[in-house]
Every structure is written in structure tokens, then in C-alpha cells.
């Protein structure tokens, strides 16, 4: 039972963090703390130790990450590697030293090899090198899986490792310098409509496929895993469906009401060719199955952005 546990969520002010805290509260969890900037710089060991002392958690759910889209990954590979590696390693180690009951680590689909067979199965995670633009981020996050398994083997420390696919939803990051594909496309459509533009430029060829995971479904998966999953075998969390970037773009264009043409900048990278997870382990281990279709999730996200975009400028 989580309701009486002292739970600290790193990155709790972020996109996924806000939705997860809402889900935990709705489940009756009474003792929730947030560890995030500016109060805690989780790349700093002194701040990590202070966080553990001040929030005194029994359970830590580590969502905090430095993350962005393809452009951000190309511009900041060293920062993405170091910041994510140092956060995860030190947070888990300090949790072990304090004998906390459980550490929940959030990995990333970027940890998978570039040419992983579809759908991605957890047992394939070590069968190759990640897609190059994502590799520093993906490998840094994947080290938490190694650490989780090593600390369970040597110390009996209870930590788990979840592999979410690309998230989206209300409250996403719409900053064009670091946003992922769905919020970036939504913003481009609204900007084009505002500017009365007759065209919309999109990176790549549109042929790459992706799986997109509505943020409220992701929060539910993390809640269920935190409540009942206690192994260090990695677990995919997602929808077990995929859509091409071309079809996704056309869907967003239709929902936003943009009527111009789409121009594909084929000089820009597509990223990993295909991404879709096998989510059968999540259903088997903690009875999770995503409920929100891509059309429903996009409609809710676009509606949220339409109502809140004036606050984001």
C-alpha cells in the first residue's frame, strides 16, 4: 500500500511529474514530496543528500531528466550524457545508503538499439548500439538498469526500471528549442495559422514510425508499477501501437485546422527508423494497458495548447 508511504518524486514540477503527482494523490497517497529545480540541483551530490535528509522518503520515483528532441540531442550530447548519468547514479546510490524501501527509475525508449526488431522486447535492449543522435542520452539512462540489477544482486536493494516510449499530452514542453515532435508540430500549426502561412516545414522524410504514449496513461503505469512491481527486469510501458511521422503530421494538421501544404525538409534526420514497444510484460506483471488512442490524446493536447498558449510565450 502506497497511501501511507513517504514518496519523493524527482522532476515533480515537470510534464510527467505533475500528472504522476495528481495520480498518486487521487489514489490516496498522503505524503508526497517534490525534488526539482530550483530547490534541488540533482546533479549535485550535496543537494541530493540534502533532499534525502529533508524529504526522508521511503520511496523515490526518479523522473528528473535533461531531455529534448533531435535538434537538442545534436547540440547538447555531452550535457545529456553527464547530467542524466550523474543524477541517476547518485540518487540510486544514496537511496541504497539510506535503506529506502524502493527506487523507481524511469529509462527511455532511446536506450534500445537503432535497429531493434519491431516490437521492441525488453530482452533486445543490449543487442546493439542506440540511434546515434539519441545515444548519449539513452546510454546514460540505461546505466540505471545496470545499477538496479547490480545493487539488487549484491545488496538486495529494491529498485525497478521502466522504459516509457515518447510521451505527449496537456502541459507538454512547447519550447521549439527543446520540444519533441508532437508539441513542436502543434505549435508550428498554430503559428502558421496565426501568420496566415500557406505552408508548414517538417524535418525528415515522414517515413519514420513512432509510438506515442499519452501522459495520463504513463502516470497510471508508473503508479501501478510502484505499487506492485518488485523486480529489476526492465519493463516497457507504452501503447503497443505505431504511427508514421507523415500520418501523425497530417492528423495534427487536420485537428488544428491548418489548411496549407506540408513541406518535408529531407536534409534533416529522421532519427531512429522505427519505434514500437512490446508491452506484454507490463500487462503480465502489473496489469497495465494503455487506454487513450492517439486521436483522442492529440485532441486533448491540442485543446489544452489552444487554451493555454498565450501563457507560454
**Residue 291 DSSP class:** -
Residue 211 Rama label (left phi>0; alpha psi -120 to 50; beta): beta
| Alpha carbon distances (Å) from 287 to 27, 108, 208 | 16, 20, 30
Q: Where are the alpha helices (DSSP H) in the chain?
A: 15-26, 45-55, 70-75, 77-97, 135-155, 181-194, 215-228, 245-256, 280-286, 294-312
Task: Say if residues 290 and 217 touch (Cβ distance below 8 Å).
Answer: yes
Locate 214 and state its grid cell: 499519452
Report, as residue numbers or ranges, the catalytic residues.
137
What is the C-alpha separation between 269 and 271, in angstroms, rounded? 6
Locate 182 and state its grid cell: 508532437
Three-class SS of residue 267?
coil
Amino acid at each position: 500500500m502506497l497511501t501511507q508511504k513517504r514518496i519523493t518524486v524527482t522532476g515533480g514540477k515537470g510534464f510527467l511529474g505533475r500528472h504522476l503527482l495528481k495520480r498518486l494523490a487521487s489514489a490516496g497517497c498522503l505524503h508526497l514530496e517534490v525534488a526539482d529545480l530550483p530547490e534541488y540541483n540533482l546533479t549535485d551530490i550535496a543537494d541530493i543528500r540534502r533532499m534525502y535528509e529533508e524529504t526522508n522518503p521511503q520511496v523515490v520515483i526518479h523522473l528528473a531528466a535533461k531531455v529534448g528532441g533531435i535538434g537538442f540531442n545534436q547540440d547538447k550530447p555531452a550535457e545529456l550524457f553527464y547530467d542524466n548519468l550523474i543524477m541517476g547514479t547518485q540518487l540510486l546510490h544514496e537511496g541504497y545508503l539510506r535503506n529506502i524501501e524502493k527506487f523507481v527509475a524511469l529509462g527511455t525508449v532511446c536506450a534500445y538499439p537503432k535497429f531493434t526488431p519491431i516490437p521492441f522486447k525488453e530482452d533486445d535492449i543490449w543487442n546493439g548500439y542506440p540511434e546515434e543522435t539519441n545515444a548519449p542520452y539513452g546510454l546514460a539512462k540505461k546505466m540505471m538498469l545496470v545499477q538496479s540489477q547490480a545493487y539488487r544482486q549484491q545488496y538486495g536493494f529494491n529498485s525497478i526500471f521502466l522504459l516509457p516510449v515518447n510521451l505527449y499530452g496537456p502541459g507538454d514542453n512547447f519550447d521549439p528549442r527543446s520540444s519533441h515532435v508532437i508539441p513542436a508540430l502543434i505549435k508550428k500549426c498554430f503559428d502558421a495559422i496565426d501568420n496566415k502561412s500557406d505552408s508548414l516545414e517538417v524535418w525528415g522524410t515522414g517515413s519514420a514510425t513512432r509510438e506515442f504514449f499519452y501522459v495520463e496513461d504513463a502516470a497510471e503505469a508508473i503508479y501501478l508499477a510502484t505499487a506492485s512491481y518488485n523486480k529489476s527486469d526492465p519493463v516497457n510501458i507504452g501503447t503497443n501501437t505505431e504511427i508514421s511521422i507523415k500520418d501523425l503530421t497530417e492528423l495534427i494538421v487536420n485537428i488544428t485546422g491548418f489548411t496549407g501544404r506540408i513541406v518535408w525538409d529531407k536534409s534533416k534526420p529522421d532519427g531512429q527508423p522505427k519505434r514500437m514497444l512490446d508491452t506484454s510484460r507490463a500487462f503480465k506483471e502489473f496489469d497495465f494497458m494503455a487506454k487513450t488512442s492517439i486521436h483522442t490524446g492529440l485532441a486533448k493536447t491540442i485543446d489544452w495548447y489552444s487554451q493555454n498558449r498565450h501563457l507560454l510565450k
